[in-house]
Amino acid sequence: MPTIYVTRKIPDIGLAMLRGKGFTLDVSEKDGVLTKEELLGALRKRSYDGVLCLLTDTINAETFAAVPSAKIFANYAVGFNNIDVAEAKKRGVTITNTPGALTNTVAEHAMALIMAVATRTAEGDRLMRSGKWGGWGPMQLLGADLKGKTLGVLGAGRIGSRLAFHCQKGFEMNVIYYDVKQNTEFEKETGAKFCATPEEVLKEADVVSVHVPLLDSTKHLINAERLKLMKKTAYLVNTSRGPVVDEAALVEALKSGTIAGAGLDVYESEPKTAPGLTECENAVLTPHIASATETTRGEMARLAAENLIAFFDGKTPPNLVQ
């Protein structure tokens, strides 16, 4: 039966499914991300048939070479920018991910960030805890309403379109979007207007939410120049991947009032943040937890296990990347 290396403990449901099918699992005992040396060292220990890896693991030519027996890397994430997919293809290694399971959860987290930054929830929370609140005031911590405002989605795939659904149906917001592919189904569902360029979205939207995958073409999609196109009253929300936004440029924009605020779940060099970001009162920051609900993390574990089980049954895994 297949022997799988699991790079970090994930919810039991996935591990139990694999063990139930007779798989042998070696699960990393480290309570944290394996360093490159630790990962390569662990993979070289045994002729693993497959690897269950995380978005925090860099999977490239060196990794594949450390475990040439492994014919599948099942990523416990929908994003797979941590994996050199072209290299996997060259070596005939199968890659899978966990799409769908986290769509609504991440969209809800993006909604939470939008609401937190617009209603100044985190600032209010900090004020309460500081013991410095002097009581109700007519001009205190004034935020912005969402009703009737325009949401601009960059990347209207699964998560982007779900967020638009929440914003349009729940908050009566208008929706505009830019994507490399026009999505007419999404337009019908939310009344979204397609914009031919990201610039158009940035100029028009009151809230810009980013949902593109991290690719060479999307690195620093939001840069200093594009931040300047946004309204001074607008908010930027990023739950996609950190490098999609030039974080240093964003800090500058937050400090100078180029935009009103930002809600971020992802960062360019996690777990670090760009100098000055944590001092920006107008930024709401969460530690890459957009998919972190009990149900969704369990569902992701189930999908990753399903992919491995299908592969070793000689079937096409349900969530094949390549």
Q: Provide the annotated active-site residues.
A: 241, 270, 288
Among 243, 114, 107, 111, which Cα is nearest to 186's? 107
**Shortest gap between Cβ of 276 and ligand NAD (angstroms)?**
22
Burial 132-159 (b: 16+ CB within 10 A, else e): eeeeeeeeeeebbebeebbbbbbbbbbb
Instruction: Give the residue with the Cβ less far from ligand NAD, 43 or 175.
Output: 175
218 binds ligand NAD (CB under 6 A): yes
Instruction: Give the residue with the Cβ less far from ligand NAD, 99 or 317.
Output: 99
Q: Binding residue for ligand NAD (CB under 6 A) from 146, 237, 266, 301?
A: 266
In the chain, the amino acid numbered 221 is L
Among 161, 155, 8, 16, which Cα is nearest to 76's? 8
Instruction: With CB under 6 A as the rule, give the number of residues binding ligand NAD.
Output: 32
Long-range contacts of 122-127 (CB under 8 A, 24+ apart): 122/284, 123/281, 123/282, 126/281
CB-CB contact of 149 with 206 (8 Å)? yes
Instruction: Give the residue with the Cβ less far from ligand NAD, 95 or 212.
Output: 212
In the structure encoding, which two tokens stand for residue 25, read together?
């699992």
Q: Binding residue for ligand NAD (CB under 6 A) from 15, 290, 300, 305?
A: 290
Instruction: Give the residue with the Cβ less far from ligand NAD, 140 or 182.
Output: 182
Q: Binding residue for ligand NAD (CB under 6 A) from 34, 111, 207, 212?
A: 212
Distance CA 8, CA 12 (A): 12
Distance CA 30, CA 206 (A): 43
Instruction: Give the residue with the Cβ less far from ligand NAD, 70 or 221.
Output: 221
Site for ligand NAD in 132-191 (CB under 6 A): 154-160, 178-181
Spatial strand order in the sheet of 50-53: 24-27, 3-6, 50-53, 72-75, 94-96
Reduced to 3 DSSP states, what percent helix, strand and coil does the chain have, rounded to the nearest 5? 40, 15, 45
Site for ligand NAD in 31-70 (CB under 6 A): none
**Shortest gap between Cβ of 82 and ligand NAD (angstroms)?**
10
Instruction: Give the residue with the Cβ less far from ligand NAD, 91 or 219.
Output: 219
Only one residue has tokens 């939310």, namely 190
Q: Binding residue for ligand NAD (CB under 6 A) from 79, 124, 143, 276?
A: 79
In the chain, the amino acid numbered 298 is G
Only one of the segments 44-52, 145-153, 239-247, 303-311 lies at the binding site for ligand NAD (rule: CB under 6 A); that segment is 239-247
What is the x/- site pattern for ligand NAD, positions 100-129, by CB under 6 A? --xx--x-----------------------
Which spans of this chain sit near ligand NAD (rule: CB under 6 A)?
78-79, 99, 102-103, 106, 154-160, 178-181, 211-215, 217-218, 239-241, 265-266, 288, 290-291
